[in-house]
Structure 1
Amino acid sequence: MAVRSVVVNTLDVERAVAFYRDLLDARLIGEATRHGADLDLVTATLHLRALGARGKASTWDPDDLQRGFRHIGLKVDRVDPYAERLADAGVPFHLKPLDAVGGVRITFFYDPDGTLLELVEGDVQYSDVLDAEAVAAERALGPPERPRFDHVALTVADAQAAGERYRPLGFRPAGALEQPQDSRGFRITYLHASGPGVLEVFTYSAQTHLRRPQLEAPGFQAVVLTESVESLDGFTEMCGSWELDRLGLDGLALYIDDDGLIVGVER
């Protein structure tokens, strides 16, 4: 199983397409319509879902102590040229380029609908390697020619519980990274799919709080996984079913996990 796509709600399809195409080199698949658009991010696609007049104010908070979705990560060959392009276009930054714990260079910024995005340069040097084969496969991908989907990050209440929740869908912990500079007791666990895509799991010693997803608010909505599995019982026992028709994603079974992340699985 791999990450097939990420779903992002947008108030303006044309504006969102221009942002991802012109600033992040995503490639439009087919044609954009008033209902949305799909863009190629090399190893996954971005599905833009049009909100129009249905759009409501989002309750998403950039404080990572809020559980659920945190950001979408893209791997790049070099962070700084893209950051300069984004800055020249007036894009708001959450964190300007810097060398981060784990031996990578990163930057964080927002798309036009408030979705937090990260660019990552280099391979993470994990504090703990939990699956050497998975780490080797990740590094074998090498630097991309254009921004490549890498991960969806989420904050969870319990990393072990999250790992068990996603194990039936083919995700395994490949590595972990301590963040000793963060007084909140921050640790990242990287759950690798059997195909492309990673769930970057944040945990804290500090108290976290839950946010329920909003189907009609702009920004990130869901992560969609490829390949049907014979049984979802191990996953669905720990997740609630979602109202399937409200996202308009035909052919998917949608679930919401205990930390508020919506996951779509091909049926």
Structure 2
Amino acid sequence: MDNTNIVFDHVHIISEDPESTATWYVDKLGGKIINSQEVRGAPQIVVAFGDTTIIVRGRRPGEEVVTKQGLEWGTDHFGFRVEGDFDGYCDNLKETGITFSLDPVDFTPNIRIAFIDAPDGVSIELLQRK
């Protein structure tokens, strides 16, 4: 395994409305749609943020989807690192109508964070390392 390396590749989101969700990530956070196709009977849209992607897909035939009910075991959120004016960036997001579940706060002496609500019950952390 000396020649093996793993690199984080993507987050996969199941969406009630994948087209509008993908558009939200483009319009609100500056992502870029790099692929859109049907996969296993459902739309699947790939939104790029640098070298990482968010895959947004719809419900596949025969799948039952339940709405998240608060805190659950497993993945809680994912985060974007903000480089530059953190508070100004957050203010701009608020002006576009994004809801903050946690306004910007110093989490540790070296990290400032905020949380925003994304479509489909997804929670996103914004963070700045000082």
TM range (shorter): 0.7 to 0.9
Cross-structure match for 1:105: 112
Cross-structure match for 2:3: none
Cross-structure match for 1:73: 79
Deviations 1:43-96 (A, max 9, x none): 31111011289563323424xxx4311110111113223322322232222101
Cα RMSD (Å): 2.3
Identity among equivalent positions (%) equals 24
Indicate yes or no: 2:45 matched with 1:25: no
Q: TM-score, normalised by structure 1?
A: 0.41
CA 1:102 to 1:49, structure 2 compared with 1: closer, same or farther past 3 Å? farther
Could you say what secondary structure the match of 1:108 adopts? strand
Indicate yes or no: 2:85 matched with 1:59: no
The answer as to whether partners of 1:104 and 1:120 remain within 8 angstroms in 2 is yes
How far apart, CA to CA, are the structure 1 residues paired with 2:64 and 2:114? 28
Q: 1:42 Cα shift?
A: 1.4
Q: TM-score, normalised by structure 2?
A: 0.78
How far apart, CA to CA, are the structure 2 residues paired with 1:14 and 1:95? 27
Could you say what secondary structure the match of 2:65 adopts? coil
How far apart, CA to CA, are the structure 2 residues paired with 1:115 and 1:17? 13
Cross-structure match for 1:47: 55
Letter in 2 for 1:42: G
1:230-249 matches, cutoff 5 A: none
Could you say what secondary structure the match of 2:119 adopts? coil
How far apart, CA to CA, are the structure 2 residues paired with 1:89 and 1:32? 28
Q: Which runs of 5+ in 2 are unaligned?
A: 1-5
The answer as to whether partners of 2:44 and 2:55 remain within 8 angstroms in 1 is yes
Letter in 2 for 1:2: V
Which structure is higher in RCO with an 8 Å CA cutoff and minimum separation 6?
A: 1
The answer as to whether partners of 2:76 and 2:123 remain within 8 angstroms in 1 is yes
How far apart, CA to CA, are the structure 2 residues paired with 1:32 and 1:115? 22
How far apart, CA to CA, are the structure 2 residues paired with 1:49 and 1:122? 31
Letter in 2 for 1:110: D
Q: Which runs of 5+ in 1 are unaligned?
A: 124-267
Report the structure number with the largest CA radius of gyration: 1
Indicate yes or no: 2:123 matched with 1:116: yes
CA 1:68 to 1:60, structure 2 compared with 1: closer, same or farther past 3 Å? farther
Deviations 1:135-192 (A, max 9, x none): xxxxxxxxxxxxxxxxxxxxxxxxxxxxxxxxxxxxxxxxxxxxxxxxxxxxxxxxxx
The answer as to whether partners of 1:14 and 1:32 remain within 8 angstroms in 2 is no
CA 1:83 to 1:32, structure 2 compared with 1: closer, same or farther past 3 Å? farther
